[in-house]
Amino acid sequence: MNVIALSPFDLTIAALLILALAGLSLRMQIGVERQLLISAVRSTVQLFLIGLVLKVLFESTQAIWVALLATVMLVVAGREVMVRQKRRFVGGWGFGVGTLSMFVSSFTVTLLALLLVIGTDPWYAPQYAIPLLGMVLGNTMNGISLGLDRLTQDAAQRRPIIEARLALGQDWQRAISDSRREAMRVGMIPIINAMSAAGIVSLPGMMTGQILAGTPPVEAVKYQILVMFLIAGGTGFGTMVAVSLAARRLFDERQRLRLDRLRLPANCS
């Protein structure tokens, strides 16, 4: 493959876009310049570090190191889901709901692809396992974050309606069914939009990367279709599991709505 190497100067030119955007944000008083610069620095450091880790991992090809890296990815993704919630569950539930849902969906979908579709030898070959898991896990994280945030916000806003339904004799599942369906729909919107626009509005990242690396376009398209279907499955199933677990957690054994199980924002009473 004929890969054109990028120099530090090349990356610096691209970084000027971030600096220009931060300066414009400061001038227009948008207020995102600090977060933008910190995110840019974080992504640069994190990507270089993971590049070094993957280099060592590809050379060793040991299952224990692949499993360890996958666990770290899952834990970090679970934390990101928790901190993105405006109203998060108190205690271990704040971290556990998203993490468990991503484990069930993302790892299952990735294993399915490695064992039955790609068929690498060994099946845990890091060249395939880590990138696939990363793409599925990252998109599933976004879907679950959106779904949980919508569910908890909706439950708080619709509290009188939900409690009225409970008073009329409906069980907790029927009382919160509208909010639960809407949360699942919101969580799956990004991947649905991505699949609808792929190939016409945008060229997805994995396909673009493979083409730039010299892979024949048709072969790159096949891998992109596989990845998008895996992401859709992981995101959909993960969001459904997470929202269902969270919805159940909002009610106690006597089927009373328990918003005290959520940590309210600082500006709310």
Q: What is the pLDDT at residue 184?
A: 93
Residue 112 pLDDT exceeds 70: yes
R_g of the chain, CA atoms, integer Å:
21
- Look at residues 60, 86, 107 and tell me which one is the last residue of a structural domain: 60
Asked whether residue 16 is assigned to any structural domain, the reply reads yes
Asked whether residue 24 is assigned to any structural domain, the reply reads yes
Residue 76 pLDDT exceeds 50: yes
Tokens of 185: 């729909």
Residue 266 pLDDT exceeds 60: no
Q: What is the pLDDT at residue 239?
A: 92
* Poorest-pLDDT segment among 83-97, 99-113, 144-158: 83-97
How much is the average pLDDT of 103-128? 87
Asked whether residue 268 is assigned to any structural domain, the reply reads no
The CA distance from 83 to 130, in Å, is 24
Specify the higher pLDDT residue, 152 or 59: 152
Residue 172 pLDDT exceeds 80: yes
Specify the higher pLDDT residue, 160 or 199: 160
Whether 74 and 46 map to the same domain: the answer is no
Asked whether residue 246 is assigned to any structural domain, the reply reads yes
Whether 72 and 46 map to the same domain: the answer is no
Q: Side chain identity at 130, as an amino acid letter? A: I
Q: What is the pLDDT at residue 19?
A: 93
Q: Where does the pLDDT of residue 21 fall: very low under 50, low under 70, confident under 90, or very high at 90 and above? A: very high
* Poorest-pLDDT segment among 20-24, 84-88, 134-138: 84-88
Residue 186 pLDDT exceeds 70: yes
User: What's the mean pLDDT when you consider all of the chain?
Assistant: 86
Q: Where does the pLDDT of residue 189 fall: very low under 50, low under 70, confident under 90, or very high at 90 and above? A: very high
Asked whether residue 269 is assigned to any structural domain, the reply reads no
pLDDT tens-digit map of 28-51? 888 888 989 999 999 999 889 988
Whether 189 and 259 map to the same domain: the answer is yes
Whether 70 and 180 map to the same domain: the answer is yes
DSSP at 117: I
Whether 51 and 81 map to the same domain: the answer is no
- Look at residues 30, 60, 90 and tell me which one is the last residue of a structural domain: 60
Whether 73 and 39 map to the same domain: the answer is no
Q: Contact 97/250 with Cβ under 8 angstroms?
A: no
Whether 48 and 164 map to the same domain: the answer is no
Asked whether residue 101 is assigned to any structural domain, the reply reads yes
Residue 196 pLDDT exceeds 90: no
Half-sphere exposure of 229 (CA within 13 A, CB side): 9
- Look at residues 36, 60, 84 and tell me which one is the last residue of a structural domain: 60
Percent helix / strand / coil, the chain, rounded to 5: 75, 5, 20
The CA distance from 151 to 168, in Å, is 22
Q: What is the pLDDT at residue 54?
A: 83
Torsion 61-63-126-79 (CA) sign: negative
Whether 208 and 223 map to the same domain: the answer is yes
Residue 114 pLDDT exceeds 80: yes
Q: How many CB atoms lie within 10 A of CB 217?
A: 11
Q: What is the pLDDT at residue 269?
A: 40
Half-sphere exposure of 254 (CA within 13 A, CB side): 4
| Residues of the domain holding 42 | 1-60
Tokens of 127: 């060249």
Domain total of the chain: 2
Whether 191 and 209 map to the same domain: the answer is yes
Burial of 138 (0-12, 13-18, 19+ CB in 10 A): middle
Half-sphere exposure of 205 (CA within 13 A, CB side): 8
Q: Where does the pLDDT of residue 268 fall: very low under 50, low under 70, confident under 90, or very high at 90 and above? A: very low
Whether 67 and 39 map to the same domain: the answer is no
Whether 152 and 83 map to the same domain: the answer is yes
Whether 55 and 66 map to the same domain: the answer is no
Strand segments, DSSP code E, in the chain are 88-89, 262-263
Residue 159 pLDDT exceeds 70: yes
